């Protein structure tokens, strides 16, 4: 009986530091590392979360820290090497997170992070300038076999880049890929007619398509998007090419479980709220909510698929 009592006391004692830390948390502002410049969709998602999290959780203050560079790599590495004390979390975006791993450029692995959950997705699209003779994926493939086409992508290893490489393989063509420094440069190329086509994300060109300033010729999704019902998927057009960007929250690996629980609870509360959904819709941010386990499984599968692409055509 004494042994059982001592054992129980030991177990309780071992749990006390964690509970005490969690009770005092937070005692200072929490940094959200955003691995991109201010103003983009990733940054907007983080700021929407921070605003509502502070409003509904007195005592919590979130500070956005933009760390752009190297296709998100600098920011991802800063999250990974941060102290796992609950005062640094980050918003990752894919496939860049895993693309840096498979290319052996990253100073982190998936195990460097405690995956909290996914918040948003951004379906990949193929878009051409207004007045282009390219009206479909077949047109794109046919013209690419006749002459070298300049196709803009948002950097090497991005979802745009991987989607373009997948289409090259599916259609048996080769593009003159033009890696840009971001969607602003891609937009300028498309709207100015300086490129033949671009692989981008839906949020980046949906307004321009609606205004008739550019033409989205395909969605790289399983099904048509409710925001763009008139545009066929690449699958419908005979090309098995699917791609999307995701944006989810992560923390450094080793974070205290009790603190992690608090953050997970806030993430769930905020992202499932009507206020967050309304803000997302207004900003053309397409929500895809996944818990930590499901999103971690997605990231592992994405890394495997990205590795396969890299092995065929290293970048």
- 236 is a domain residue: no
Kindly state whether residues 135 and 74 are assigned to the same domain: no
Kindly state whether residues 169 and 210 are assigned to the same domain: yes
Q: Are 248 and 115 in contact (CB under 8 A)?
A: yes
Q: Which residues pair with 290 in a beta bridge?
A: 118
pLDDT at position 2 = 45
Kindly state whether residues 127 and 195 are assigned to the same domain: yes
Per-residue pLDDT at 297 exceeds 80: yes
- Better-scored residue on pLDDT, 8 or 38: 38
- Percent of the chain past pLDDT 70, that is, above it, reads 93
In total, how many domains does the chain have? 2
Give me 213's structure tokens: 């300033």
Lowest mean pLDDT among 11-20, 30-39, 157-166: 11-20
- 4 is a domain residue: no
Residues sharing a CB contact under 8 Å with residue 213, sequence separation 6 or more, in sequence order: 130, 191
Give the whole-angstrom CA distance, residue 135 versus residue 231.
11
User: What integer is the mean pLDDT of 201-214?
Assistant: 96
> Domain with 85 in it: what CATH number?
3.40.190.150
pLDDT range class, residue 132, cuts 50, 70, 90:
very high
Kindly state whether residues 75 and 153 are assigned to the same domain: no
Q: What is the pLDDT of residues 133-152, one digit of tens each?
A: 999 999 999 999 999 999 99
> Residue for token digits 């309780």?
12
- Decide which of 219, 252, 271 is a domain's last residue: 219
User: Which of 116, 96, 38 is CA-nearest to residue 243?
Assistant: 96
- 237 is a domain residue: no
Kindly state whether residues 269 and 307 are assigned to the same domain: yes
Give me 129's structure tokens: 């300038």
Cα dihedral across residues 93, 162, 200, 179: positive or negative? positive
Kindly state whether residues 127 and 214 are assigned to the same domain: yes
Mean pLDDT value across the chain: 93
- 176 is a domain residue: yes
pLDDT at position 183 = 86
Per-residue pLDDT at 291 exceeds 90: yes
- 3 is a domain residue: no
Give the whole-angstrom CA distance, residue 234 versus residue 221.
7
pLDDT at position 229 = 93
Kindly state whether residues 128 and 267 are assigned to the same domain: no
Give the whole-angstrom CA distance, residue 199 versus residue 188.
13
Kindly state whether residues 118 and 253 are assigned to the same domain: yes
Q: What is the pLDDT of residues 233-256, one digit of tens each?
A: 999 999 999 999 999 999 999 999
Per-residue pLDDT at 11 exceeds 50: no
Q: What is the pLDDT of residues 36-77, one digit of tens each?
A: 989 888 999 999 999 999 999 999 999 999 999 998 999 999
- 12 is a domain residue: no
pLDDT at position 19 = 55
Residues sharing a CB contact under 8 Å with residue 219, sequence separation 6 or more, in sequence order: 123, 124, 125, 202, 225, 228, 231, 232, 233, 234
User: What integer is the mean pLDDT of 209-229?
Assistant: 96
pLDDT range class, residue 17, cuts 50, 70, 90:
low
Q: Are 205 and 192 in contact (CB under 8 A)?
A: no
Kindly state whether residues 262 and 306 are assigned to the same domain: yes
Kindly state whether residues 255 and 201 are assigned to the same domain: no
Whole-structure pTM value: 0.86
Residues sharing a CB contact under 8 Å with residue 141, sequence separation 6 or more, in sequence order: 171, 172, 173, 239
- 238 is a domain residue: no
User: What integer is the mean pLDDT of 73-97?
Assistant: 98
User: What integer is the mean pLDDT of 116-125?
Assistant: 98
| HSE-up (13 A, CA, CB side) for residue 258 | 12
Give the whole-angstrom CA distance, residue 254 versus residue 268.
21
> Domain with 154 in it: what CATH number?
3.40.190.10
Domain of 206 in residue numbering reads as 123-219
Give the whole-angstrom CA distance, residue 47 versus residue 196.
35
Kindly state whether residues 101 and 154 are assigned to the same domain: no
pLDDT at position 139 = 99
- 77 is a domain residue: yes
pLDDT range class, residue 20, cuts 50, 70, 90:
low
Q: Are 266 and 53 in contact (CB under 8 A)?
A: yes
Kindly state whether residues 117 and 131 are assigned to the same domain: no
């Amino acid at each position: 009986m004494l042994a059982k009592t001592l054992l129980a006391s030991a177990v309780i004692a071992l749990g006390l530091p964690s509970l005490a830390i969690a009770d005092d948390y937070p005692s200072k502002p929490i940094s959200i590392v955003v691995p991109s410049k201010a103003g983009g969709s990733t940054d907007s998602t983080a700021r929407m979360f921070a605003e509502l999290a502070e409003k509904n959780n007195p005592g919590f203050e979130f500070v956005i820290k933009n760390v752009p560079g190297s296709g998100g790599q600098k920011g991802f590495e800063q999250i990974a090497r941060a102290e796992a004390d609950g005062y640094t979390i980050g918003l990752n975006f894919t496939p860049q997170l895993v693309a840096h791993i498979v290319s052996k450029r990253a100073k982190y692995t998936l195990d460097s992070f405690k995956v909290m959950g996914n918040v948003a997705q951004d379906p990949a699209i193929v878009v051409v300038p207004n007045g282009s003779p390219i009206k479909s994926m077949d047109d794109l493939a046919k013209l690419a076999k006749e002459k070298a086409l300049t196709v803009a992508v948002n950097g090497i290893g991005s979802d745009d880049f991987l989607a373009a490489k997948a289409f090259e393989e599916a259609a048996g063509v080769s593009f003159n890929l033009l890696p840009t420094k971001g969607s602003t440069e891609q937009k300028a190329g498309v709207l100015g007619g300086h490129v033949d086509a671009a692989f981008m994300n839906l949020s980046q060109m949906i307004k321009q398509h609606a205004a008739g300033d550019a033409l989205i010729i395909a969605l790289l999704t399983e099904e048509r998007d409710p925001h763009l019902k008139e545009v066929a998927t690449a699958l419908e057009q005979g090309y098995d090419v699917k791609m999307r960007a995701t944006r989810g929250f992560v923390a450094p690996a080793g974070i205290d479980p009790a603190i992690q629980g608090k953050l997970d609870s806030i993430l769930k509360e905020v992202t499932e709220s009507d206020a967050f959904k309304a803000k997302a819709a207004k900003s053309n941010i397409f929500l895809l909510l996944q818990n930590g386990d499901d999103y971690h499984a997605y990231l592992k599968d994405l890394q495997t698929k990205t590795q396969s692409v890299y092995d065929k055509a290293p970048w």
